[in-house]
Structure 1
Amino acid sequence: MDNLSVFFLAQGEQSGDEVMARLTTFIRAARQSLDFAVYDMRFSDPLKASLSSALRERAEAGVKIRFCYDGDKPSPPNAAAGQDPAPSGTGAFIQSLGYPWHRIAGMKLMHSKFILRDGQSVWTGSTNLTDDGFVSMENNVVEMDSLPLANYYAEDFEQLWEKENFENTGEIHTQPEPVTFAGQSAEVRVMFSPGCGLEIDSEVARRVRSAQRPSASPTAPKSERRYKQRPSRLARSWSFY
């Protein structure tokens, strides 16, 4: 049985209601806790109503809900220092929901986009929790039901919650964990910035160099080049978002 799923979003190919339905389905499965770490979270009234209803239902059932969000940046931001906060509104939106929240300060962005459910399931990906993120951008949503992977996200969330500052967080020793995707066994490793930033940079650079390596000599016969360039069904794949 799969414990990892990926949902791809493309401009104009899904409605905000469709993505919100996936999100509220994830939320409504909570029995103990929901921890949100978000960079940008702003919804139009219809989507906000759907989210608020799902959260209220879970809160009334005894689920503990917390939010960490990127905030406390100087105004105007220092673009040269990498300060590029999201449009205003996230703080007001989250505070209006009525659950415990912490603003996450720091010179850089707290760019997280994950929801931890019951300490064992994670909603993450490249998608900001906004109308535009749901309908107007090329994005992905990744859902993982894996206690080992969820534990890493829990550690990162607690660091953010306790420090209320993005700096000096994310230095978490992680390792690949087994998952099942589309009926196939695989491994997933998660890393968090800024603590693992140098390791992430190094890994990305290594993978780029590997992808650029020619698979056959340009002087080899065409048949050999075609054969060597054909992807192997057993080849390892690697993705980064």
Structure 2
Amino acid sequence: MLLTAVSAWRGLVVVVGLSLAAEGLYYVISHLKRLRERRPAQVLFFPAPVTCVRPLLLSSPGHCRCGLSHRESALSCLTRLLISARRSLDVCVFTISSLELSSTVLAVHGRGVRVRVITDSDYMALAGSQVGTFRRAGIEVRHDQDTNYMHHKFALIDGLTLVTGSLNWSAQGIFGNKENVIIIENTDIVKAFVEEFGQLWNEYDPAKYSFSPQR
């Protein structure tokens, strides 16, 4: 009888302990979520000065003697953010021809991070497009299948950080045009873009292609 009572009390203690642990974990997760949602968005404005971002892509600190400026710029901020991806980098951008940003995507892929790219079928076929370089490196690229443009310009880092704005990933966009990029970590907004990327990724399944530009 005594052993039965002790066992029952032990079981109750375990249940209560697990309940409190779950409640504590929920509190911690909720608190971290609120902190992320309160984190202010960051805004980058372009054009950026011509600077070298190559040292940011190296696996270990290094120096570059190219002669270009290495000072902080909107481009270096964007590069540093993209290269920070640890689990995934999803890119959904109308035009991708910038050597600086394409090198960043390739560097992320080279570390074993999952990289997926969605772009526009018309512009991926133009001279200077980096889509062919991505594909030769083993990065899967998908594109739209109609006469309208796939005109999005956003990227998702680890499914937690959204990079979006008016910027096309081109030399003209980075160094010439008046453009903007906003960096957001609000969970509701990020979730909406994660869902949009997933929907487009499925919609642009190569098994459904009626045409595929050669790039």
TM range (shorter): 0.5 to 0.7
* Counterpart for residue 118 of structure 2: 68
The CA RMSD measured in Å over matched residues stands at 2.5
> 1:100 is matched with which residue: 116, 132, 140?
140
Report the more deviating stretch, 17-26 or 135-144. 17-26
- Check conservation: 2:96, 2:124, Cα contact below 8 A: no
Letter of the 1:36 counterpart: V
Specify every segment of 5 or more residues in structure 1 that has no aligned partner in the other structure, as ranges.
Answer: 74-83, 166-241
* Counterpart for residue 46 of structure 2: 9
* Counterpart for residue 120 of structure 1: 160
* Counterpart for residue 238 of structure 1: none
Letter of the 2:114 counterpart: K
Output the CA distance in 2 between the equivalents of 1:129 and 1:155.
Answer: 22
The share of aligned pairs that are identical, in percent, is 24
* Counterpart for residue 31 of structure 1: 86
Specify every segment of 5 or more residues in structure 2 that has no aligned partner in the other structure, as ranges.
Answer: 1-37, 53-72, 206-215
> Which is helix-richer, 1 or 2?
2
Q: TM-score, normalised by structure 1?
A: 0.54
Q: Radius of gyration: which is bigger?
A: 2
Q: TM-score, normalised by structure 2?
A: 0.60
Give the drift of 1:95.
2.1
- SS, match of residue 30 in structure 1: coil
- SS, match of residue 40 in structure 1: coil
Give the drift of 1:148.
1.0
Give the drift of 1:118.
1.5
With over 3 angstroms needed to count, the CA separation of the structure-2 counterparts of 1:47 and 1:121, relative to structure 1, is closer
Output the CA distance in 1 between the equivalents of 2:105 and 2:74.
Answer: 11
- SS, match of residue 122 in structure 1: strand
User: Which consecutive segments of 4 or more residues in structure 1 shift more than 3 A?
Assistant: 16-20, 46-51, 84-88
- Check conservation: 1:119, 1:147, Cα contact below 8 A: no
> Which is strand-richer, 1 or 2?
1
- Check conservation: 1:24, 1:54, Cα contact below 8 A: no
Give the drift of 1:90.
4.5
Output the CA distance in 1 between the equivalents of 2:87 and 2:105.
Answer: 18
Give the drift of 1:138.
0.5
Output the CA distance in 2 between the equivalents of 1:51 and 1:67.
Answer: 10
